[in-house]
Chain A
Amino acid sequence: MTQLTAQRSTPPSIRTKTRPTRHQVSYWWYLVPIAVGFAAVVLLPFLANIGFSLFKWKGGLAPLRWYGLGNYLDLLQDEQFWLAFKNSLFMIVAIVVIPTAIGILLAAMLFDYIGRKFGTRAATFLRATYYLPQILPIAVAGFIWSWILDPSNGSINTFLRSIGITEGPDWLGSPDLAIYSVMAMLVWLQIGYPVVVFMAALSRVDPELYEAAALDGAGWWRQFSAITIPTIRPEMFIVVLTATVTALKVFAPILILTGGGPEGSTIVPSYYAYRNFFELSQVGYGSTIATVMSIVIFAVAAALLSWQRRTDNV
C-alpha cells in the first residue's frame, strides 16, 4: 500500500534503446480493457445508484418522482436505519475486535509454542482446521448454524437437554439474544483469517531476537508484547482494515440466519437496503441506504489509512 506512489521515473535506458528502432504501442492502451469493464460494472452503476437515491421510485416501469435529498432526510429520522448501524458496531466486534485479539494469541500459540515443541506439522494441521470455515460458501455456513441453533432440534439445545436443561434458549428467536448468536457464528467464521495472516507474519521474526530476550530473562508475555506485537503491526493493520470493511457489509449471515428478525433486532444496513430494493419496492430509498453505506465505508477506510500513516511517522 505504501508503494502506490513510489514508482515514477522510468529508467531512460529502456526508452532510448527501444524507441528509435521501432514504433511502440503506448502503455495507455493496456488500461483500456479494465477501464471499459470498470465503467460498465462499477462506475456507471454506482452513479446510477446515486441518481436513483434522489427519486421516489417503486422500480421497474413505475414513474420516477423527483424527491431531491428527501430520502436522505427521511433516513436520518428512520429508527430502523439507526438500529441497523448500531448493529454494524456489533458486527465490528464480532468480525474485527474478537477475531483479531484471539487470532494473535492463537497464532503466537501455534507458531511459537506448538510449532516448536510438537513440530511444524501439528501447527500446520491446527492452522488448517482454524481456517476451514473461511473457505466455506456462506450459504452452507448459514445453513449449518441455523440448524445448530434451532431451539427444538438444534444440536446445542439437544445437548443442553441431555445434561438436564430442558428449556434451552431460543438462540435466534429471542430479540435479546439473536444478535449475540449471529456474532458467535461470525467469530467462528472469521477467526481463521487473522490466524493465518499473523502466523505468516511471525515467520519474519528473527528467532535470535527471542533467544536474546530469553537470555535477558524476559518471560513469554514480555517477549510477546515487546517483539511479537511490534513485528506483526503491518499485518494487524491490514486485518483490521479488511475486516472492518467486511463487517460493515455483512449480508448473507443475516439473510440466512435471522432475516433481520426477530422484531428487526438483527437488521444491518446491507440487509435493510436489500429489503427496500426487493421486498418493499422502495428502490429510491434502498439506493439511499446503499449510497450512505458506501460513504461510511470509504470514510472509515480513509480514517484507518490516515491513522496508520500518522502512527508510522511517529
Chain B
Amino acid sequence: MTTIQATRPTAALPTKLRHRKQRPTRWVVLIIAAIVAIIMLAPFLLMVLNAFKTGADYSSNGPLSWPTEFTGQAFSHYLDIVNYPRALWNSILISTVVAFVGTALAMISAYAIGIGKVKGGGPILAVLLLATMLPHEALIYPLFYGAQATGTFNTVWSVIIVFTVLQAAFGTYLLASVMSTVPKELLEAAAIDGANRWQILWRILLPVLRPALSVLLVFFFIWTWNEFYIPVVLLADQSSQTVPIALSTLRGQHNIDITVLNAGSLLSLLPTMVFFLSFQRTLSHGVTAGAIK
C-alpha cells in the first residue's frame, strides 16, 4: 500500500512533442467521458427529481417531468411508515463499533504475524483470506441458530459480532504485510528504551500505521453499512434494522407511492453519500488497498 501514491498531476510533456492536429479529438474524448458520467448519475438524478414530487404529480406527468412543485410530502410519508431515526441509529452504532473493534482486532492479530513472525503465519493469513471469500450462504443458517441460542437474534449485537470478525480477517491480511515493512530499527529502539510488546504495538506502531488504519476504518464502516444478506436474515424486527434493510422491507408493496420509495431511497443513501464526500481522498487511496504487491 505504501508504494502506491496519490494520483498526481503528471509532469506536463514538453509541448513540442504533442501533435498540433489533435484539437478535435480532445473534445470528442471529453464528451465521451461526460456521457459516461451522465449515465452513471442519471439514476441518482431521477431519484432526486421524483422524491420531491407529489404523488398526483407523478401519476399524471410520469417520472421524467420536472416537478410542478417541490414538496417534502413523500419524505414525511416515508418517515411515517419506517422508523428512520431508529434505523439510522442502528446503522451508525453497528458500523462504528465494527469499524473500530474490527480494526483493533486486525491490528492485534497482524502484530503476531507481521512483527512477531509466528510460525505458520503464512497459512494463517491464507485461511483468513479464504474466510473473506466464503459465501455468506454457507454460514447463515448456523449463524441464525447461534444468534437465537445466544439471545442476540434481532439485536444489533449479532451483526456487530459477525462483521467485526469478518472485517478483521481481511484487515489482518492487509495489516500483516504493511507491518512487515516497518523498519526494524524503530522497534529495536523502543525495546531498548524499555517498551514491552504490548506498548510497542500501541505506542510505536499505531502512529506509524495511522494512514493504513484510517483506510481500514473508512472501508469497514462503509462495507458494514451497506451489508445486506446477513442483516436481512438476522435483523427481522424493525427495532433492530439498519437503514438499507428498513428500506428493503417495502419491496413489493405496491400500495406505496413511487415518490415515497424515492424519498426513502434518497434518505437511505444520504449518510453514505456524506461519508463518501468527506472521506473521498482516503477512499480513493484505499480502494487500491487490496492491490498491494
Residues of B within 8 A of A3 (CB): 177, 180, 292
* Chain B residues numbered 5-49 whose CB sits less than 8 Å from any CB in chain A: 5-14, 17, 26, 29-30, 32-34, 36-37, 39-41, 43-44, 46-47
User: CB within 8 A of B44: which of A41, A45, A132, A207?
Assistant: A132
Instruction: Categorize the interface residue count of chain A.
Output: 35 or more
Task: Enumerate chain B residues within 8 angstroms of A126, measured Cβ to Cβ.
Answer: 33-34, 36-37
A226 and B143 alpha carbons, distance in the complex (Å): 50
Chain A at the B interface: SS class? helix
Shortest beta-carbon distance from B209 to chain A in Å:
15
The segment out of A73-81, A151-159, A166-174 that lies at the interface is: A151-159
Say if the beta carbon of B70 comes within 8 Å of chain A: no
Q: Does A181 contact B (CB under 8 A)?
A: no
Cβ < 8 Å to A, chain B residues 236-277? 243-245, 247-248, 251, 258, 261-262, 264-265, 268-269, 272-273, 275-276
The distance from the CB of B164 to the nearest CB of chain A, in whole angstroms, is 7
Whether B116 lies near A41 (C-beta < 8 A) is no
Q: Does B168 interact with chain A (Cβ within 8 Å)?
A: yes
Q: Could you tell me if B192 and A49 are in contact, using CB atoms closer than 8 angstroms? A: no
Q: Which residues of A contact B128 (CB under 8 A)?
A: 34, 38
Question: Is the Cβ of A297 less than 8 Å from the Cβ of B287?
Answer: no
- Establish whether residues B13 and A211, one from each chain, have CB atoms under 8 Å apart when the complex forms: yes
Q: Take A30-B108, A135-B226, A139-B228 as given contacts and tell me if A297 and B10 are in contact as well, using a CB distance cutoff of 8 Å.
A: no
**With A7-B121, A42-B165, A118-B30: A24-B196 Cβ-Cβ less than 8 Å:** yes
Per-residue CB contact flags for chain B residues 180-215 toward chain A (1 = under 8 Å, else 0) read 100010011001100011100000000000000000
Question: Chain A residues near B40 (CB, 8 Å)?
Answer: 129-130, 132-133, 188, 191-192
Q: What residues on A are CB-neighbors of B165 within 8 Å? A: 34, 37-38, 40-42
Partner of A116, one of B13, B43, B229, B287: B13
Chain B residues, CB < 8 A from A136: 226, 269, 272
Contacts of A137 in B (CB 8 A): 225-226, 228, 243-244, 247, 268-269, 272
How far in angstroms is the closest Cβ of chain B from A160?
11
Nearest residue (CB) in B for A161 is: B62
CA distance A234 to B44 in the complex (A): 33
CA distance A80 to B143 in the complex (A): 26
Cα A58 to Cα B65 with chains together (Å):
50
B56 interface residue per 8 A CB criterion: no
Please, which residues of chain B bring their CB within 8 A of the CB of A283? 141
Say yes or no: B288 contacts A106, CB within 8 Å.
no
- Smallest beta-carbon distance B187→chain A, Å: 7
Q: Residue-by-residue, is A185-229 near B (CB-CB < 8 Å gives 1, otherwise 0)?
A: 000100111001101110110010011001100000000000000
Asked whether B116 lies within 8 Å of A290 as measured between CB atoms, the reply is no
* 1/0 contact string of B63-102 vs chain A (CB within 8 Å): 1100000000000000000000000000000000000000
**Interfacial residues, chain B to chain A (CB-CB below 8 A):** 4-14, 17, 26, 29-30, 32-34, 36-37, 39-41, 43-44, 46-47, 59, 62-64, 105-106, 108-109, 111-118, 121-122, 124-126, 128, 130-131, 133-143, 146, 161-162, 164-166, 168-169, 172, 177, 180, 184, 187-188, 191-192, 196-198, 222, 225-226, 228-229, 233, 243-245, 247-248, 251, 258, 261-262, 264-265, 268-269, 272-273, 275-276, 280, 283-285, 287-288, 290-293
Q: 20 new A-B pairs (CB below 8 Å) besides A30-B109, A130-B40?
A: A10-B117, A17-B191, A31-B112, A33-B105, A34-B168, A124-B7, A131-B284, A132-B276, A139-B247, A141-B43, A143-B247, A144-B262, A153-B59, A200-B7, A238-B290, A270-B137, A277-B141, A286-B141, A287-B138, A291-B138
